[in-house]
């Protein structure tokens, strides 16, 4: 064997293995997402909010529940960064403690709506005919009600509490996920490789979980991100109306409701909870828009 041949064999043996397609796909996705500066700002804010919700309460110096009537409606200062409310409680501390409540309601209400909606959407799109007709007509009935009115009706039946808000917001999120997943399932079901898998004797469950669901994840992820913003707004609205979190829980919508009585004398009581809601909702919306662009196969690299 010549020296040149031996060198060629050794170089081929030590050559880098071909890139993993899944890893390469994630790299391409991140490159697309990173090009959208607004989406990266939204992602950074979301990560910041999650970190604050997890560890922020351990670093606050005031009790979010303990009233101090001698210091009520105090303006923002070095001791009370966002001032105090009508009970003398530190608003900054209450906003930090309320962040975990807001994210908890937003995430879990969307998870509830997504799980049920995805199941109904896949079943409806895959089996079609009578199953599709029955499921979609039920979804149409739910969509006929404005989201906030449907949530109000559910809360009126279940009663006002954080968990009931999650149920109410989750229920009105179901039709959106169901319709999106149904449309994607109808498109994937018509592909030739699905017919080939059926011909090989694969069960319906295997086809749905292994071949259909992975192909409809993109719209689910995008809709889930955008739905979190809607859920936070709806939960805050319910608490503002007194049907969500009950006093003295530091939920932002309830804090905003308390502050409306002092708009002229102490506007900071309503200003800072309102700004917190706006910033969180905006972060999820712009990140969701960036996700939609990054996951769109038709978008340019």
Q: What is the pLDDT of residues 221-254, one digit of tens each?
A: 889 988 999 999 988 988 888 888 887 888 899 8
Question: How many CB atoms lie under 10 A from the CB of residue 187?
Answer: 13
Q: What is the pLDDT of residues 167-197, one digit of tens each?
A: 988 998 899 999 999 988 888 887 777 778 7
Paired residues of 83 in beta bridges: none
Inter-residue contact 142 to 153 (CB < 8 Å):
no
Whether 1 shows a pLDDT value over 80: the answer reads: no
pLDDT of residue 32: 77
Inter-residue contact 184 to 125 (CB < 8 Å):
yes
Indicate the domain borders of the chain: 90-295
Please give the Cα distance from 161 to 107 (Å, whole number): 16
DSSP 57: G
Please give the Cα distance from 34 to 43 (Å, whole number): 10
Q: How far apart are the first and last CA of the chain?
A: 47
> Which string of b and e fits 16-30 if b means at least 16 CB within 10 Å?
eeeeeeeeeeeeeee
Q: What is the pLDDT of residues 129-144, one digit of tens each?
A: 898 899 999 998 888 8
* Residue range 90-295, CATH number: 1.10.3720.10
Inter-residue contact 272 to 95 (CB < 8 Å):
yes
Please give the Cα distance from 9 to 15 (Å, whole number): 10
Paired residues of 90 in beta bridges: 84
- Joined tokens for residue 64: 């979010």
């Amino acid at each position: 064997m010549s020296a040149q041949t031996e060198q060629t064999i050794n170089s081929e043996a030590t050559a880098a293995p071909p890139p993993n397609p899944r890893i390469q796909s994630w790299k391409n996705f991140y490159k697309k997402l990173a090009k959208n500066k607004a989406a990266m700002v939204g992602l950074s804010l979301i990560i910041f909010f999650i970190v604050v919700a997890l560890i922020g309460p351990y670093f606050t110096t005031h009790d979010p529940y303990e009233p101090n009537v001698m210091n009520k409606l105090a303006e923002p200062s070095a001791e009370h960064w966002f001032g105090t409310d009508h009970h003398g409680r530190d608003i900054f501390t209450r906003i930090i403690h309320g962040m975990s409540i807001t994210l908890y309601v937003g995430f879990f209400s969307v998870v509830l709506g997504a799980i049920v909606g995805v199941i109904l959407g896949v079943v409806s799109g895959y089996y079609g005919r009578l199953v599709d007709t029955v499921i979609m007509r039920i979804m149409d009935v739910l969509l006929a009600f404005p989201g906030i009115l449907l949530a109000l009706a559910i809360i009126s039946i279940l009663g006002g509490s954080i968990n009931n808000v999650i149920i109410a917001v989750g229920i009105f999120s179901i039709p959106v996920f169901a319709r999106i997943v149904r449309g994607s399932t109808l498109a994937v079901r018509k592909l030739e490789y699905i017919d080939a898998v059926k011909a090989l004797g694969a069960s319906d469950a295997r086809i749905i979980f292994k071949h259909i669901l992975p192909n409809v994840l993109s719209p689910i992820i995008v809709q889930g991100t955008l739905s979190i913003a809607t859920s936070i707004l709806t939960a805050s609205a319910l608490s503002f109306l007194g049907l969500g979190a009950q006093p003295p829980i530091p939920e932002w919508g309830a804090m905003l409701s308390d502050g409306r009585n002092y708009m002229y004398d102490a506007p900071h009581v309503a200003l800072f909870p309102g700004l917190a809601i706006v910033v969180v909702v905006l972060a999820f919306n712009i990140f969701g828009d960036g996700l939609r662009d990054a996951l769109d196969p038709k978008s340019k690299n």
